[in-house]
Structure 1
Amino acid sequence: MRNSTPVEQRIDERARRFLATAPAGGAKAKLTEFVVFGLKQGWACIFGATLLAVLMTARLWYQDDAGLARNDFLTVAAVVIQVLMVVFRLETLRELRVIVLFHLVGTVMELFKTDMGSWSYEAEGVLRIGAVPLFSGFMYAAVGSYMVRVYRLFDLKFAAYPRRWITAILAAAIYANFFTHHYIWDLRWVLLAAVVVVFGRCVMHFRVFRREFRMPLVVSFLLVALFIWLAENIATWSGAWQYPSQLDGWHPVGLEKLVAWFLLMIISVVLVAWVYKPQPPETGTTSRPEVSPAAVP
């Protein structure tokens, strides 16, 4: 595994010993691949999952009359989670720089979108910029954390990855459309078509345990966007923020938000690609006997 942290290296050593006797074929081998895949995904989501757990806990048990406003508590909790990730070497400083960039990009969007009435937060606490509590940027940082961690946990490689300058232009256009569609035409469907054209030929190669798997990159964008949409439903239920249609009572977020998250995935991938340059898959190595590093959290 590339750029693993010391903690993950120790996990890898234990995983190798534990899984060394796992069968190489049959149903048990497939079950092993499936279980390791789930554990790796959980490990990659550790920042976002922890933050989501804090949001749910605050929704269920945080007292309205507490001395610290709930939004301020969420901000402090998010900072603590981030600090612990670095202190306990669950995250590298190189990754932290990417995550901070996600935080800044997300906060700028939050300031604009709340001002336009796209969604809103409870007006409480002092740890905020205008109507935007500071914990909101950490939700974007959670996406960044997942992206950089999954990149190395699954040893991602990409066949026919487009030129990075082209993807940068596309990502900039997508980011701009999140702002400009309030004033001029909404180009999201044009941008979706551009994503298919630019990334349509790209195939992602990833290793779970012994086997290497392949998936069209556009399909992976959709799957991750669906996962974020599910997390968004939990976050809005917890009261982290609300869309205008939810002010009279919570209901699931509309599926149209999947398009927004799908496009956001392009921005995320491009940001990560500037830190970890996409590498092509190795030829003739579709199946290797060794255990994939950091197979379990």
Structure 2
Amino acid sequence: MARETGGRDAELTRLERAIDRAAHRLLAGRPARGPRAFLIECAVFLLKQAWACVFGALLLLAILAARLWYPDDAPLARNDALTLAAILIQCGMLAFRLESGRELWVIVLFHLTGTAMELFKTDAGSWSYAADGVLRIGGVPLFSGFMYAAVGSYMVRVHRLHELRFARYPRVWATTILAALIYANFFTHHFIVDLRWILLALVALLWWRTVMHFRVWRATLRVPVLLVFAGVALVIWVAENIGTWAGAWLYPDQEAGWVLVSPQKITAWFLLMIISVVMVTWVYPPRAPDPAPARPAG
């Protein structure tokens, strides 16, 4: 969590500010260069990523625990238990100041858009859930919306934890239109031609020049934003394999026995990432990198 203190400290939650100050005191005076400094930067990066993932990690642990230890004959259906666990996680995130009120509305929007997609996709036979429990809408248990909310939680938290800046970010109105087209394609490709490859090309066209600047502790690193999108999509695909292995939901080819989720799903998660990124820009408008300090003449 450590970073140099500055004006953006106000964007952290109260608990995060306390952790940040403690970590800064612990690391102050450490060498700015060399192997030790590199290891500190790596450790801080991993800790920030783990902190940003806390919602999704807790939900994934609940799904695994339900698969491994939850009794099949329990009075409370497994899916209902997962829904209650997801609600408790979300309440805990707010009670312990792990999410700010500013972020909550966009996480709720993730939940609603995800649930709408779940209702359509399960009806179309794209995947299915166990038909048990009462906390459900049609064939969709209510915990499914929290899986999308977990992605939203990560996106908004990583934005402030790493103080993200973007060089040559495309116009938000253009990205919003593209995100709407991507979301529509998740539905319309069942009836007309699948436009995902055209949409992927448009994504590349809009963001290919965009570079993300993110602070670790002392270091501020730069990386092409399309590479970041692809990396996060890959991580979500890995989590999806864990979720399907745990039986939270199943694709048609997994009903006879679990198999690896098709790597083609990574493209779907990549496109969903675009929707996620655009939603986050409604809360945190993309900001350009801070100008480099002028070198003294001499």
1:130 — aligned with what? 138
What one-letter code is carried by the residue in structure 2 that aligns with 1:206?
A: F
Equivalents in 1 of 2:102, 2:86: separation in Å?
19
Shift of 1:21: 2.7
Shift of 1:248: 0.5
2:3 — aligned with what? none
Indicate which of 37, 42, 46 corresponds to 2:50.
42
Equivalents in 2 of 1:10, 1:20: separation in Å?
15
Shift of 1:196: 0.3
Indicate which of 202, 205, 212 corresponds to 1:194.
202
Equivalents in 1 of 2:246, 2:293: separation in Å?
45
Indicate which of 107, 110, 117 corresponds to 1:109.
117
User: Following TM superposition, where does structure 1 have runs of at least 4 consecutive aligned residues deviating by more than 4 angstroms?
Assistant: none
Structure 1 residues without counterparts, runs of 5 or longer:
287-297
Shift of 1:251: 1.2
Equivalents in 2 of 1:285, 1:230: separation in Å?
41
Normalised by the length of structure 1, the TM-score is: 0.95
The alignment partner of 2:221 has SS state of: strand
What one-letter code is carried by the residue in structure 2 that aligns with 1:248?
A: A
Equivalents in 1 of 2:265, 2:46: separation in Å?
25
Equivalents in 2 of 1:148, 1:111: separation in Å?
25
Q: How does 1:201-212 map to 2 (within 5 A)?
A: 201-212=209-220
The alignment partner of 1:274 has SS state of: helix
Shift of 1:285: 5.7
Identity %: 64
Normalised by the length of structure 2, the TM-score is: 0.95
Equivalents in 2 of 1:12, 1:34: separation in Å?
16
Equivalents in 2 of 1:21, 1:239: separation in Å?
49
Asked whether 1:179 is paired with 2:182, we answer: no
Taking only aligned residues, the RMSD between alpha carbons, in angstroms, comes to 1.0
1:291 — aligned with what? none
Shift of 1:252: 1.2
1:119 — aligned with what? 127
Equivalents in 2 of 1:285, 1:232: separation in Å?
44
Equivalents in 1 of 2:167, 2:175: separation in Å?
15
Task: Count residues in correspondence.
Answer: 286
Q: Deviations over 1:132-181 (max 9, x none)?
A: 00000000000000000000000000001100000000000000000000
Asked whether 1:64 is paired with 2:72, we answer: yes
Indicate which of 198, 221, 232 corresponds to 2:229.
221
1:274 — aligned with what? 282
What one-letter code is carried by the residue in structure 1 that aligns with 2:73?
A: D
Whose RCO is larger (CA < 8 A, sep 6+)? 1
Q: Deviations over 1:18-69 (max 9, x none)?
A: 1113221111111111111000000000000000000000100000000100
What one-letter code is carried by the residue in structure 2 that aligns with 1:155?
A: E
Indicate which of 5, 15, 20 corresponds to 1:12.
20
Structure 2 residues without counterparts, runs of 5 or longer:
1-7
